[in-house]
Structure 1
Amino acid sequence: MLLIVTFIVFGFVVALPVGPVTIEMIRVNMRSGFLSAWMIGIGGMVIDVGMILLIYFGLSTVFELDAVQTAMWFIGGAFLLHLGVQSIREDSMKLEQTSGTRDGRFQSFLKGVVLALTPGNLMFWIGVFGTVLAAALQESGFGQFLVIGVSILGGILLHDLLLLTVVSIVKRKINGKWFKAISIIAGVLLLVFAAYFLLSGVRNIIE
């Protein structure tokens, strides 16, 4: 039980730093509601599960290849650039928007998948979670590996649910001007991440 609680807390704490996925979850929650935003987190967790499987089968080193990393930097940067521009150009962030202007749940799910498929996220998985999981697999076998992996995912899921719950409560107390401001701020932050991703891709090519 202590092992489970420890790694739920570990997964929760590691998920706290704000990145592109978190920013997009907040933006979509403001625009389209809790479930659409949560689907971004679910999309990201699909990649997390995939990484656990790759670590188990010893295939995660493919993401350490320069060509693979460079391609993912550019793809991720282009996608973040699109999201940032889209966020800044939104005319209104009112809750009364029609369903036709909202982010669909499947669309949000795909966003989560793409945003999680970045070298930074994947290498973080390999370097941090991968180290813990590989050690558990080697020292204690599949049982403990599975417990730790599921506990980490539980911590990430708990983080997403608490974040979106707080955002859902706060957004009821603010007006359309605040929604627009939040959308612009989110867009600018996404553009900053896009620039970082694209520059990282260029640096990989130069080096």
Structure 2
Amino acid sequence: MPVGTITVEMTKQGLKNGFVHGWAVGLGGLTIDLMLILALYFGFASALALHYIQIPLWIVGAGFLTYLGYDSIKNADRDITPANEKTQKSFFITYRNGLLVTASPGNLVFWISVFGAVLSQSYSSSSTGSFVVAAIGVMTGMLIHDLGLLSIVSVSRKVMSRRMIQWVSMMAGIVLFGFSLYFLYEFIVSFIRLV
């Protein structure tokens, strides 16, 4: 699995607030991914590929990732819950962040180009049964990735100092800024192509 915005946000939340909050981000991501599988199944992938639908998504995604990056850097020293304490952060806020990060155009393009090709090939090859098997395989792979990543983060969190977690949060913010710049670039390129 390539490192993307959801992996960065899962790692950051897992280090700062523990396994459950990293998992909440992952569940938000899996929710959107499941919705995209259903959209592919019902033939909506072609609508997601339209430029006039992607262009607003690119700019909204850039704005949201800029906000997350800024928040990661600004609040790097806040909301860190030691491994032996219970976190006060809302599960649903981290779940919402997972939903919003995964609903970004980068993820949509990834789904349409990579998984969309695999799933649409399995859909057209014989019956809907092969599509369902391929979709379950994709979701299972993503679930294994999330659980594996968060297990490593959870163990690492126990041996990391507060200062180390702050640095990781700041680096995550910088990476999220990088993704937002990429989204902004894609917005500009898509807008120029449309005009």
TM-score (norm 1): 0.86
Partner of 1:46: 31
Q: Relative to structure 2, which stretch is displaced further, 35-44 or 128-137?
A: 128-137
Give the structure 1 partner of residue 105 of structure 2: 119
1:173 partner letter:
V
Whether 1:149 and 2:135 are equivalent positions in the alignment is yes
Q: Distance in 2 between matches of 1:112 and 1:195?
A: 19
Aligned residues: 190
> Take 2:105 and 2:29, find their aligned partners in 1: how far apart are those partners?
13
Give TM-score scaled by structure 2 length.
Answer: 0.91
* Contact preservation (8 Å) 1:63, 1:119: no
User: Structure 2: how far apart are the matches of 1:118 and 1:175?
Assistant: 32
Instruction: After TM superposition, give the deviation of residue 206 of structure 1 in Å.
Output: 2.2
Compute the displacement of 1:55 (Å).
Answer: 1.4
1:134-174 deviations in Å (ceiling 9; x for gaps): 22222220111111101110000000000000011011111
2:74 match: 89
Tell me, yes or no, if the aligned pair for 1:136 and 1:144 is still in contact at 8 Å. yes
Paired residue for 1:168, among 151, 154, 175?
154
Corresponding position: 1:68 with 2:53:
yes
- What amino acid does structure 2 have at the position aligned with 1:168? S
| Cα RMSD, aligned residues only | 1.6
Maintained 8 Å contact 1:83/1:187: yes
Q: Which runs of 5 or more structure 1 residues have no equivalent in the other structure?
A: 1-15
Give identity over the alignment, percent.
Answer: 34
Instruction: Give the 3-state SS of the residue equivalent to 2:159 in structure 1.
Output: coil
Change (3 A) 1:194 1:175: same
Contact map agreement 2:76 2:167 (CA 8 A) in 1: no
What CA distance in whole angstroms lies between the structure 1 residues aligned with 2:136 and 2:76?
41
How much has 1:80 moved relative to structure 2? 0.7
- Matches of 2:31 and 2:86, distance apart in 1: 29
CA distance in 2, matches of 1:54, 1:124: 14
Structure 1 ranges of 4+ moved more than 6 A: none
Aligned partner of 1:18 in structure 2 is 3
